[in-house]
Each structure stands twice: as structure tokens, then as C-alpha cells.
Structure 1
Amino acid sequence: MYVRSLLFLVLCLAGANSHLLKFEDCGSVKGKVIQVDFVPCGYLNIEFQMFETVQNATILMNQIVDGKPGPAPLPYIYACNQWDFYGLRCPLHTGKRYNFSLDLAQEEPEFHLKGRFTLKDLSDHIIFCSQFNFWFC
């Protein structure tokens, strides 16, 4: 809970630099994305709502190149883990809203990316799928 509170505070303080990104749904079933906030050289936050309760979830990120998705590894596959890395605690309950957050700060040159984020339950059923353009720093 501490990490999530700290991340929320950072996002609020960086609000002047935050951008709401246009996103498109790519097959959401058990939930839906409400909005995507992006702080350049900082954080990506995906707010979503659940339509069904799930006990645990995995997260997959793909980069879209020439219209085709390719893998873009994330630090952890499990969205709800003991370190609260992405700001989620499972189970995820029907009707509730949650925030998936990802630290994007890197030491590499800036580059733009069209990405696809897919959250799935442990039976591999899609909770949400959303794609949008953003950039790493």
C-alpha cells in the first residue's frame, strides 16, 4: 500500500507534466480501461474498472511495429505481487477501479513507442487490452 500511495503522490505532484493519452481498446472482456495518464520520463498509469472478480493477474506489454505486436519485457509478469510493484493488490473485485502503474524512467536515449498492455487472469482470459503511443526517456 505504501508504494501505491507514494506513486499516487508523485503522479499528483507531477500533474502539470501529466498527459492523458488517447487509447484504443484491443479486446477487453473482464474489465475496461477508464483512462491512461503519462508523465514523460516518469510514470505510466492505467486506470481500469473490473467487470468480474479475479484472484490474480498477469501483465503483458507488446510494442507495435508495422502493425504487428512484438514482446516488450516487463520486470514482473504477475500484476499483483508481494512487493506491490505495479500498484495492484489481488483479488481484483467486480465494480472496483484500480490503477496499474509503471515506472518508465530509463538511462537510454528517448524513443517513441506504440504499446499494447494486456492484463489477463491466470486462466489466460483477457481482463483488459489497451494500446496507445507513449515515449521512454
Structure 2
Amino acid sequence: MDSRPAVVVLLCLMGFTCAELVKFIDCGSTSGKVATVDINPCASQPCQLHRGDSYSVNVTFNSGVESQTSTAVVHGIVAGVPIPFAIPIVDGCKSGIQCPIQKQQTCHYQTALPVKAEYPAIKVVVEWELRDDNKQDLFCIKFPVQIV
């Protein structure tokens, strides 16, 4: 009996246990609407992000506008102060989104979130924006994480 199909199914199910839909707050999405946010791996919330590791961030949203470009801006909010959070690729068109973005298009934004080893162990709220041609937010989301 060939057990390869069972192994493939098992591996797929293991992948689903590492990612959990993240509870987020919309912080002013003016030209789009977020459907889901997930971080991989993230087994519980707030997601525990280990220093020196990198995480996959996936946001599914529906665009309310046409846009030739999309640009990500990420901050960590510490004691009410936004601190820029570097990500390797800020161009959303190089992060899973097919550009130009069409109105009413469902988009799947996917990028890496590296957690530098020098970051302090702290709870922080991440504010993630993806801006259109007019610097309006295709999405703006906030979600808590804990850097460990």
C-alpha cells in the first residue's frame, strides 16, 4: 500500500497548526478592507516572535481602488510611540500582490518579518500599513506581539 498520500496530508495538517489567524484591529484602511491576517509560525496570541528568527506575514484584503504601486510601512508601538520596524521588501508588488491593483481585486500580501537579535524582549503592538499610489492605506492593521 502506498503511504505517500497520507504523508502529504499529514504534512499539510502540520502546516496549519503553525499558523493561526491573528486578531487585528483596523487602524484606518481607507482604500481597502482586510479579510484575514496570519503569521507563520504563530501557535498562540499574542504571537511570540523569537529574536533572530524570521516570520511569514500574510494579509488577504480587498482593494477599493486601482493602484499601480503599493508600499509597506511598519511600526512597533512602544509606550504610544511609533518606532520604525524594518522589513526586507517594502514594495507590495514584490510581495505577492499582482500589480497594477484593480478595484474590487482580492489581494494576498505575503512578506517576511525578521526579528533582529538585538531587539529587546518586550510586548509591542505592530502597526502595518500598505499604501496605494496616493499614500492612502490599502490596509492599516494593528496586532500585538511579544518579542522573546
- TM-score scaled by structure 2? 0.71
Deviations 1:83-122 (A, max 9, x none): x3x1122111111211111223557389554211111112
Whole-Å Cα distance in 2 between the matches of residues 76 and 103 of structure 1?
Answer: 8
- Call closer, same or farther: CA 1:106–1:88 in 2, change over 3 Å: same
Whole-Å Cα distance in 2 between the matches of residues 118 and 134 of structure 1?
Answer: 16
Whole-Å Cα distance in 1 between the matches of residues 136 and 27 of structure 2?
Answer: 13
Mapped pair 1:101 → 2:110: yes
Mapped pair 1:76 → 2:89: yes
Residue 91 of structure 1 corresponds to which residue in structure 2?
100
Amino acid at match of 1:17: C
Q: CA deviation at 1:13?
A: 6.0
Deviations 1:57-92 (A, max 9, x none): 111001011122121122233211xxx3x1122111
- Call closer, same or farther: CA 1:131–1:108 in 2, change over 3 Å: same
Of 69, 81, 97, which aligns to 1:56? 69
Residue 7 of structure 1 corresponds to which residue in structure 2?
none
Determine helix, strand or coil for the equivalent of 1:14: helix
Whole-Å Cα distance in 2 between the matches of residues 105 and 52 of structure 1?
Answer: 30
The answer on whether the counterparts of 1:57 and 1:122 sit within 8 Å (CA) in structure 2 is yes
- Call closer, same or farther: CA 1:67–1:123 in 2, change over 3 Å: same
Residue 137 of structure 2 corresponds to which residue in structure 1?
126
Quote the sequence identity (%): 27
Backbone CA RMSD of aligned residues: 2.6
The answer on whether the counterparts of 1:18 and 1:39 sit within 8 Å (CA) in structure 2 is yes
Residue 35 of structure 1 corresponds to which residue in structure 2?
36
Determine helix, strand or coil for the equivalent of 1:54: coil
- Call closer, same or farther: CA 1:129–1:97 in 2, change over 3 Å: same
Amino acid at match of 1:14: G
How many aligned positions are there?
124
Q: CA deviation at 1:136?
A: 5.8
In structure 1, stretches of 5+ residues that fail to align are 1-9
Of 111, 114, 135, which aligns to 2:125? 114
Q: CA deviation at 1:11?
A: 8.7
